[in-house]
């Protein structure tokens, strides 16, 4: 079936970077954009950016410009989201979601930023 | 950026009730709007896309309507499994979510 499987939970110190992976299966990876969304505990959904797996083109929310990088490895149908200069406010669950209408979603990756 | 104002932020309802959730866009977005359901500890699930198209497998008690700046998600007869948080998502420009509506048991 069509699914996205994300990498496991991460604990990082302030100032560090984190790289989350999102492996697609059940469809042609290069056919649909990958979006990244995050959700702090008890808060709403926040769109971070998108990547076209075919071209590698990206678009980032202004809030994350300069701190986020989205890449992919088409040979293993995997997308990556790297967030740098982490601060405590970046503690959240990070999701990938496929396609224009965000379906399916990965299971989420908890990133905890703590000294 | 297009802002999405979702209301109410929470509501209490009983099984069998009709529930309506609204999203208003700060500018016209045609029908570039989706609705998502999220249960605690789980990823969101798509219910509606293009404002009124029902995702395959989603019960027909869910419906979406609207165009331009005002959109609604209606649950015609609330079921126990529908207690969750609902989000709208606009995709006319860079995507953006509404603030969410938590549907709780009365």
Whether the per-residue pLDDT at A34 is higher than 90: the answer is yes
pLDDT greater than 90 at residue B92:
no
| B65 pLDDT tier (thresholds 50, 70, 90) | very high
The whole-angstrom distance between B56's CA and the closest CA on chain A is 11
Closest CB to B87 among A44, A95, A108:
A44
Cβ atoms A109, A9 nearer than 8 A:
yes
Report CA dihedral (A38, A41, A45, A49) to the nearest 10 degrees: -10
Which residues are CB-contacts of B56 (< 8 A; sequence separation ≥ 6)? none
pLDDT band at B27 (very low <50, low <70, confident <90, very high): very high
Q: Is B71 on the interface with A (CB under 8 A)?
A: no
- The answer, yes or no, to whether residue B56 has pLDDT greater than 90, is yes
Summarize pLDDT for A46-103 with one digit per residue, the tens: 999 999 999 999 999 999 999 999 999 999 999 999 999 999 999 999 999 999 999 9
Report the pLDDT value the prediction gives residue B90, as an integer from 0 to 100. 97
Provide, as residue numbers in chain A, all residues whose Cβ is less than 8 Å from the Cβ of B100.
Answer: 44-45
Q: What is the pLDDT of residue B1?
A: 87
In angstroms, the separation between the Cα of residue B9 and the nearest Cα of chain A is 11
Q: Average per-residue pLDDT in chain A?
A: 97
Contact B87 A45 (CB under 8 A): yes
Q: Is the pLDDT of residue B69 over 90?
A: yes
What's the pLDDT score for residue B86?
Answer: 98
Residues from A contacting B (CB-CB < 8 Å) are 35, 37, 44-47, 50, 59, 61-62, 95, 97, 100-103, 105-108
Looking up tokens 């908890």 gives A110
**Cβ of B95 and A35 within 8 Å?**
yes
């Amino acid at each position: 079936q069509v699914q996205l499987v994300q990498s496991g939970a991460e604990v990082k110190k302030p100032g560090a970077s984190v790289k989350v992976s999102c492996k697609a299966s059940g469809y042609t990876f290069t056919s649909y954009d990958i979006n990244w969304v995050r959700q702090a505990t008890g808060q709403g959904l926040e769109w971070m950016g998108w990547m076209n797996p075919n071209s590698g083109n990206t678009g980032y929310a202004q809030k994350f410009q300069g701190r986020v990088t989205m890449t992919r490895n088409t040979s293993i149908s995997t997308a990556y989201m790297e967030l740098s200069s982490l601060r405590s406010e970046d503690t959240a669950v990070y999701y990938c979601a496929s396609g224009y209408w965000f379906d399916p979603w990965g299971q989420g990756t908890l990133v905890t930023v703590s000294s | 950026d297009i802002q999405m104002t979702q209301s109410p932020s929470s509501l209490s309802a009983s099984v069998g009730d009709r529930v309506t959730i609204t999203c208003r866009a700060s500018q016209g977005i045609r029908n570039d709007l989706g609705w998502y359901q999220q249960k605690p500890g789980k990823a969101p699930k798509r219910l509606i896309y293009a404002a009124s198209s029902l995702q395959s497998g989603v019960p027909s008690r869910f419906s979406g309507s609207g165009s331009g700046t005002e959109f609604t998600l209606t649950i015609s007869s609330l079921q126990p499994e529908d207690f969750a948080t609902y989000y709208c998502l606009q995709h006319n420009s860079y995507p953006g979510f509404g603030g969410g509506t938590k549907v709780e048991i009365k």
